[in-house]
Amino acid sequence: MPLAPSLAPLKVRKRAKTRTLLGDEYREVVTEILKPPRPPPNGSGYDEKHLREGLKYADSTLRNTLRKLSPIGTRALALYKEACAQLLDLEEGEVYNKEEKVVQSVKEEWIATVRMHEQSIRFIACLHATRTLDAQMLQDELLSLQKTAFYVRYGDILAEACRRLKNEAEARKVEGWESLRGEYWTDIEGKLRFEKPIYQRVLQGEDLHERIPTHMAVSQACVTVGFNLRDMLSIIHHYAARNGLLHANLIPLIKKGHYSDLKKRLHDDYCDVPLVISTAEGLQSNLLLKLLESMIELWFNRDPEDPDNYQMWDASEELKRHHKELQGPNPRNETDLQKEISDSINKEMRKRKSYWMHSRGIWGSIWEERKLSVLLPHSFKPKLKGPKR
């Protein structure tokens, strides 16, 4: 699909808001997917009624929270919406400070953008919203996988930029540096997101700098290191998103004492293993199941009467000890703690393997692994088994 032409800014004032242009046809809450308008046979068909129909379709589709376009489809529809709005604003008699010939040229450009989109939507799938919620979920997962691939390729570059920023801020004790010290980048991104509305007001001239300490720290460090602030804010956003996709984030859950979130994640991952690993990869499936069950055994005490009900699991003394070690003014080094946790999990896995082979016999355990790798059905929800605490 050819790129839409850029829309030339001609107006003395900003164009009217969509709500104003649509009037009574504007819908505050979007609950349905409208059909796109069909392109008229010639340019004269792009009258006020047709443009209003196009603007209503574009606005409702872009604001629909359940059924979405793909990112490239969203970009194309935003251009289409802007062209419809500009033409409607033009029809309402807006005054321009340009010659009539220039205004007519830009009007033709906007009409060409509208016509191109309405003609293309019949043949290009990415310009359509998903037809069902299941299709929307599939689209979201595919986009997430593609983002993961990008972050895997370029994540190290983002990490180095973030590391330099944090080190420089702490070394020079720039204003607000404490808000970056000892924090995860996902938490820093959360602070930036929380401060963003106030940051936008600061950019407009309001004196609210003391209410955006995280932005101030990042800004001061950028001046020192030589980074562009806007680029750095974008880097932090993508690096935090990358960490959210690629890291288990178990240590942050332990540090914050979010035991309910931790046990639910381990339980859900345990139940999802057979759903994402094929029966042809039985050994990998069994290994992951043993790994997750070992972590559950180490960190939680399960009810002997209902061991599979994760809501009844209680945090073990070992898990509470890890939480305490990560608190205070001198918390334990997380890398060292991660190494200790890995060693403990490996020991628990070896203990479980020894128990399994002793209780079933070595040939029984081999047969059990072969049976699992061949017969495990797609819908199987594994039961947590083995020695109970």
pLDDT tens by residue, 53-82: 999 999 999 998 888 888 888 889 999 999
- CA angle, residues 59, 64, 68, in degrees to nearest 5: 105
State the CB neighbour count (10 A cutoff) for residue 299: 24
Tens digits of residue pLDDT in 314-359: 999 999 999 999 888 888 887 788 778 877 887 777 676 555 445 5
Model's pTM, two decimal places?
0.55
Are the C-beta atoms of 355 and 386 separated by less than 8 Å?
Answer: yes
Please tell me the predicted confidence (pLDDT) of residue 386.
44
State the CB neighbour count (10 A cutoff) for residue 97: 9
| Distance between first and last Cα of the chain | 62
Decide: residue 357, CB within 10 A, 0-12 exposed, 13-18 middle, 19+ buried. middle
Please tell me the predicted confidence (pLDDT) of residue 153.
75
Please tell me the predicted confidence (pLDDT) of residue 91.
63
Q: Long-range contacts: 117-120, Cβ < 8 Å, 24+?
A: 117/4, 117/76, 117/77, 117/79, 117/80, 117/83, 118/36, 118/37, 118/38, 118/39, 118/54, 118/80, 119/39, 120/1, 120/76
Please identify every stretch of the chain with a pLDDT value under 70, giving residue numbers as ranges.
1-15, 91-99, 182, 245-249, 276-284, 350, 352-389
Q: Taking Cα atoms as reference points, which of 338, 309, 331 lies closest to residue 249?
A: 338
